[in-house]
Structure 1
Amino acid sequence: MTDAAPRLHALVEQLLGVPLPVRVRAWDGSQAGPPDAPTLVVRNRRALRRLLFKPGELGLARAWVAGDLGIEGDLYHALDLLSGLVWERGDDARGLAQALRDPQFRAAALGLLRMAGLPLPPAPPREEVRRTRHHHTRHTDRRAISHHYDVGNDFYEIVLGPSMVYSCAYWPAPGATLEQAQHDKLELVCRKLALKPDQRLLDVGCGWGSMAVHAAREHGVRVVGITLSQEQAAYARKRVADAGLTDRIEIRVQDYRDVTDGPYDAISSIGMAEHVGAEKYLEYASGLYDLLKPGGLLLNHQIARRPERDESAYELDGFIDAYVFPDGELAPLGTTVTQLERAGFEVRDVESLREHYALTLRRWVARLDDDWQRAVRLSGPGRARVWRLYMAACAVAFERNRIGVNQVLAVRAPESGDSGMPLRSRTWN
């Protein structure tokens, strides 16, 4: 058989009701579709089996991670073209998951499979995390964090560079270096928190210690950084020692729910709240409120999704949830602000950094591509493919305004109502 690609291309277009914007090359060498478009490479029939038995995003993810599917050409362009079919289903197209469940498609695709005598679907790639629901207990949170962050510090050094900051940078211009942009982000957080020498800062989800080191070195504060990742903690402690800041920084492997040594003057939570979960978010916000002294400031840096018209119909992202951030949950910005206010905080400032995260992710992907073979040796080919796809897809999602990222500055205002904030609070600009 040397006509698999034309048959697949025509079938998908017929079922979706719109032209397929990418070229397809199948396992038999056949090709179909726009000649100048990025090419979706279907390397074997196993890719079809994955899609047939798990229609939609998760089936695509399994095929990608296993190496059954690939993309040749501009990865971002391909994801941008496909996003309308996979993520942004409109009135003029049924969407991939719905099309893959269509009896006509399944009958035709199964016909292709029968010619090869292929059996039932293969097992999911070993990189996939299996779970039943989002519990967000101390045990499940620790396991989820370990899955994502204990890939290996050497792997993260490839992706993140010397700054080892795994959150949105703050770009002075698109051509700036990643190191400068990450330095500027850490300084932005410190300035928003109005840090002063010898104040106590709690850094929730401290990662590899970048914020703690910057705040102690540049602003003279005393920092407690907490993480659930043993590998991160070991790396952060070494950085603290190398910087000569062991008298000012303590790194703990500790759940945020177990911190009891307040009050703190300020709290930074940068890229951590996405792991908290909707059911636990008020507990998280209330716990941080209780750890602050009156007049203390919280800087909550968090990715947000767009609200659904019917929030009860919201479903978690199949690929991200299964391969990247198990038990991670994104909430709309309005929900986050409401929960912070319910906990007692007064929200004083909200700043969107959406475009900044798109730039950051593109730099991370470039670094991964530049040292791809070493990354594969360190993490395995499946895990490296997971990180490449998730970072590139997220860059496109930020660019298309499917998701955003926001810094929310909030204060634990005293009972007197005097927040202590200056009349013109944006002194950090």
Structure 2
Amino acid sequence: MSQLMPVLQSGDKTPEAVLQSLSDFLALADIRVDGDRPWDIQLHDLTLPERVLAQGNLGLGESWMEGGWDVERLDEFFYRLLRARLDRAAGQGRLLWHGLRARLMNLQTLSRAWQVGCQHYDIGNDFYEAMLDSRMSYSCGYWQQGAANLEEAQQAKLELVCQKLQLRPGMKVLDIGCGWGSFMGYAAEQYGVECVGVTISREQARWAAERYKHLPVTIRLQDYRNINDKYDRVVSIGMFEHVGRKNHRSFMELVRHILQPDGLMLLHTIGKNRRANLPDPWLDKYIFPNGDLPSLGQIADAADGLLVTEDLHNFGADYDRTLMAWHNNFEAAWPGFAERMGEGFRRMWQYYLLSCAGAFRARSVQVWQWVFSPDGLAGGYRRPGSSA
């Protein structure tokens, strides 16, 4: 930021001076302005430095959507930017209101919780069918056991979750934030369990109900806070990011209340490295309204005195490969959606998938799977495949 500030605060805002300041700043991440490497930025709008200084990633992302800059490999651009920690310098001092909203307000109330369903998950099941695997798993795949493609990685993730939950035939299982039902369908087919899933997306509920109508799978269009039944197992895969810091504790209280005394709960969530980090303003506005990534400490605080942590597993690096696979599918399918969705949507979706891939590659964000029990399993818990 020191390279940008002097020029932008002085009277010398000539194109040459602004371009030089931006070049010096990005050079810290080995990124060149108008360079010839795949991760070098091609600048079309000289107002970009001021927008980034004022708005951080919101200004950067909106300028991308408007065509203010281009880069051949957006994922590599963000990998270098984030690995050099330049994101901590850009726009942090000017985003006070966004930070206060996240810290002081409950942005995930019952009424607001449905916004992300309408804005993100309900844009078209055909669109997600073209981007995701055949089961429509919209969370990180598990590539660490030799998966060769997205289909295998998502099945490996579902199998891993089932094994961690120690499923047995006849169990009653709840999926909080069930999406298109990938876990429930797999668990019912392979392990003979009865599943109930809740979602705030009408399109997800409709698709899952039709896909799994032949299985003991029930889909409920409702917020998780209205659940009252008892379950042998509870799972939540890629939903806790929407719960919000004001509601972490009440989420864990609910899990404790609905889980049988000898039950297990698996929580699969994206997480941030620093408790103080705020929600990303661009993702909040355009992709996941009211999203709020938890930190390791925030999850532990929420479970404190309510649940025993049996296992904690990080495979966040696998989300890089998952997002790149989604992006490849998206680009291949785009001609069929171009007229309906438009070029603005395409650039927005590219920015979403590839900036996130770069973030996971830089290890700026993680994926954790926690296994909880109400009071600790007698004799302890063993992770599938471990020797401990």
* TM-score bracket relative to the smaller structure: 0.7 to 0.9
SS state at 2:41 partner = strand
Q: Aligned equivalents of 2:351 and 2:267: distance in 1?
A: 27
Cα 1:98/1:300, change in 2 over 3 Å: closer
Match of 1:77 in 2: 76
**How do 1:336-375 and structure 2 match up within 5 A?**
336-342=299-305, 344-375=306-337
Aligned residues with identical type, % of pairs: 33
Segments of structure 2 that go 5 or more residues without pairing to the other structure are: 1-13, 96-100
Report Cα offsets for 1:347-371 as digits up to 9, x if no partner.
1000111121121111111111222
Does the aligned pair in 2 maintain the 1:352–1:407 contact within 8 Å? Answer: yes
Pairs aligned (count): 366
The answer to whether the 8 Å contact 1:64/1:385 transfers is yes
Q: What's the C-alpha RMSD, in Å, of the aligned pairs?
A: 2.8
Which amino acid in structure 2 is aligned with residue 208 of structure 1? W
Q: Work out whether 1:257 is the aligned partner of 2:256.
A: no
Secondary structure in 2 aligned to 1:406?
strand
CA contact (8 A) 2:125 2:204 kept: yes
Go from structure 1 to structure 2 and tell me whether the alpha carbon gap of 1:19 and 1:276 turns closer, same or farther (over 3 Å shift). closer
Letter in 1 for 2:21: L
Which residue of the partner structure matches residue 321 of structure 1?
284
Name 2:42's counterpart in structure 1. Answer: 41
CA distance in 1, matches of 2:113, 2:94: 34
Corresponding position of 1:12: 22
How far, CA to CA, are the matches of 1:52 and 1:76 in structure 2? Answer: 18
Q: 1: CA distance between counterparts of 2:52 and 2:266?
A: 45
Deviation at 1:86, TM superposition (A): 7.2
Q: CA deviation at 1:52?
A: 7.3
The correspondence for 1:219, drawn from 175, 188, 191, is 191
Call closer, same or farther: CA 1:318–1:85 in 2, change over 3 Å: farther
For residues 348 and 263 of structure 1, the distance between their equivalents in structure 2, rounded to whole angstroms, comes to 20
In 2: Cα distance, 1:204 partner to 1:98 partner = 34
CA distance in 2, matches of 1:263, 1:281: 20
The TM-score with structure 1 as length reference comes to 0.78
Alignment match, 1:121 = none
Rounded to whole Å, the distance in 2 between the matches of 1:258 and 1:182 is 29
Measured after TM superposition, the shift of residue 387 of structure 1 is: 2.3
CA contact (8 A) 2:52 2:91 kept: no
Q: Deviations over 1:176-213 (max 9, x none)?
A: 11111111111111111111111100011010111111
CA distance in 2, matches of 1:35, 1:64: 19
Which deviations, in whole Å up to 9, do the C-alpha atoms of 1:92-149 show, x marking residues without a partner? Answer: xxx3437999xxxxxxxxxxxxxxxxxxxxxxxxxxxxx9954311110111232121
SS of 2:20 mapped into structure 1: helix
- Between structure 1 and structure 2, the one with the greater Rg is 1
CA drift at 1:54: 4.3
Q: Is the 8 A contact 1:160 1:166 kept in 2?
A: yes
1:208 corresponds, among 165, 180, 189, to: 180
Q: Are residues 1:154 and 2:126 paired? A: yes
Q: Are 1:284 and 2:251 an aligned pair? A: yes
Offset of 1:401 from its aligned partner? 1.5
